[in-house]
């Protein structure tokens, strides 16, 4: 078995400045130039107080390399890294073990047709996954794979040998292969009454958020930090408690979810009403926390043109690695021990905050369009198929999955 070829990501040529004294041969990176000018224009007292943050921003801008929008190449490195454990090949025996353990839903692609086992734990999630596979199935080789539509990854790194399971989210402690979540199409978390059937299609939601962002440009936004969400993780508690102590600094409240039983689940206060994501665009500073795994709201917040405060860095989706702290968002410690200082910093440096917010918004606009999601699916499955060391044969009892738009025509 020969190893699969490495993906070559198309990148914009690096423009890092030479930092040696007296060097004038290369101009500073345009993003870095802003940071340097910022530090020079600050009053000495302010510059001294915020020195650590300013230096962190400058270093991050210096090291940042914008990626090309060609063929979703921003994310090729993620595919390569996720498939690395399987460079020795995926055998029929290995796949049979994954299927036997029911770590996800078993799919087969044979002669450009999609087949699936009858059992799917969350039918709407499977439907969201199937939409994207069917979009590109005419260009895919034969293969089979197990796709986990649960919230949690399945293959910890201590498990040897690694076996291939696709999951939408993971931490660095897992070997799962990340794929774009079903929520880009359907099957997202239902929030009654604002999202009774889930968040809905990403392409349509993008349009709603962009319109709301236009109605709430930076100068019109409320400068109170904002969060609404249920208590899916106690990591959110410190922000809620800070809001109760300092409501002018932070407006953060817990809402109900399916597990809500009493006010104990909202830290002793009545549950707040759910707020539509387009209404988050009224605020300059928006918080993103992990939930059970990565939070589905993350990508939405950027399109408000607001500054995203991302708490913790453990949980990932496929597009997270190309979003860089201090370049596209403000990183916050998991215990929120630095959150007040960060909020005071951005309030004292409004231009800096706006620049970061704009870079984050532009990244999601340019590199997380629906065609990027479809492109990622095609690239991921094409590369994955190269590791299968056997010819796939159709399992008995598996039904063909047909695009929904064609079902009424049969």
Domain ranges of the chain: 72-181+371-407, 200-316+320-367
Prediction pTM value = 0.88
pLDDT one-digit tens code per residue, 186-243? 988 888 789 988 888 999 999 999 999 999 999 999 999 999 999 988 999 999 999 9
Query: How many angstroms from the chain centroid is the CA of residue 96?
Result: 30
Residue 363: count other Cβ atoms within 10 Å of its Cβ: 22
Count the helix, strand and coil residues of the chain and give each as a percent rounded to the nearest 5. Answer: 40, 15, 45
**Span 66-92, mean pLDDT?**
96
Residue 15, pLDDT score: 36
Catalytic residue among 151, 208, 237, 313: 151
Residues sharing a CB contact under 8 Å with residue 192, sequence separation 6 or more, in sequence order? 274
Residue 43, pLDDT score: 60
Residue 352: CA atoms inside 13 Å, Cβ hemisphere, count?
Answer: 29
The reply to whether 208 belongs to the active site is no
Positive or negative, the CA dihedral 130, 134, 135, 137 is: positive
* Burial status of residue 205 (CB atoms within 10 A of its CB: 0-12, 13-18, 19 or more): buried
The dihedrals phi and psi of 111, each to the nearest 5 degrees, come to: 50, 45
How big is the chain by its Cα radius of gyration, in Å?
23
- pLDDT interval class at 48 (50, 70, 90): confident
Fold (CATH) for 200-316+320-367:
Rossmann fold (3.40.50)
Q: If DSSP codes are grouped into helix, strand and coil, which group holds residue 189?
A: coil
pLDDT one-digit tens code per residue, 251-277? 999 999 877 888 988 999 999 999 999
**H-helix segments, 30-185:** 30-41, 44-49, 51-63, 76-83, 92-100, 123-136
pLDDT one-digit tens code per residue, 92-137? 999 999 999 999 999 999 999 999 999 999 999 999 999 999 999 9
Place of tokens 């049979």: 96
Place of tokens 């940071």: 35
Q: Are 305 and 358 in contact (CB under 8 A)?
A: yes
């Amino acid at each position: 078995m020969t190893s699969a070829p490495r993906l070559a990501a198309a990148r914009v040529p690096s423009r890092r400045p030479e930092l040696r004294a007296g060097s004038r041969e290369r101009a500073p990176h345009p993003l870095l130039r802003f940071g340097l000018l910022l530090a020079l224009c600050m009053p000495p007292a302010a510059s001294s107080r915020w020195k650590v943050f300013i230096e962190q921003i400058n270093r991050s801008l210096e090291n940042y390399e914008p990626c090309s929008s060609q063929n979703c190449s921003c994310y090729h490195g993620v595919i390569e890294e996720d498939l690395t454990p399987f460079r020795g090949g995926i055998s029929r025996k290995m796949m049979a073990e994954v299927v036997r353990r029911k770590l996800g839903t078993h799919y087969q692609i044979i002669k450009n047709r999609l087949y699936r086992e009858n059992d799917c734990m969350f039918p709407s999630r499977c439907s969201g996954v199937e939409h994207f596979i069917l979009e590109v199935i005419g260009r895919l080789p034969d293969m089979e794979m197990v796709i986990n539509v649960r919230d949690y990854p399945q293959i910890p790194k201590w498990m040897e040998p690694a076996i291939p399971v696709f999951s939408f989210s993971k931490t660095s402690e897992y070997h799962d292969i990340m794929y774009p979540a079903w929520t880009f199409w359907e099957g997202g978390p239902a929030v009654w009454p604002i999202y009774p059937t889930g968040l809905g299609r990403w392409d349509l939601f993008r349009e709603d958020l962009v319109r709301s962002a236009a109605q709430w440009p930076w100068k019109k936004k409320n400068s109170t930090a904002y969060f609404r969400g249920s208590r899916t993780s106690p990591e959110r508690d410190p922000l809620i408690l800070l809001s109760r102590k300092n409501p002018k600094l932070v407006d953060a409240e817990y809402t109900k979810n399916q597990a809500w039983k009493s006010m104990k689940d909202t830290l002793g206060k009545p549950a707040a009403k759910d707020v539509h994501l387009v209404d988050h665009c009224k605020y300059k500073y928006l918080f993103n926390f992990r939930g059970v795994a990565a939070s589905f709201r993350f990508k939405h917040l950027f399109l408000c043109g607001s500054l995203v405060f991302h708490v913790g860095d453990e949980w990932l989706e496929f597009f997270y690695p190309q979003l860089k702290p201090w370049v596209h968002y403000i990183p916050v410690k998991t215990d929120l021990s630095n959150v007040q200082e960060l909020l005071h910093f951005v309030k004292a440096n409004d231009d800096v905050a706006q620049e970061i917010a704009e870079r984050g918004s532009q990244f999601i606009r340019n590199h997380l369009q629906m065609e990027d999601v479809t492109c990622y699916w095609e690239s991921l499955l094409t590369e994955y198929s190269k590791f299968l060391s056997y010819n796939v044969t159709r399992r008995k009892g598996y039904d063909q999955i047909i695009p929904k738009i064609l079902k009424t025509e049969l």
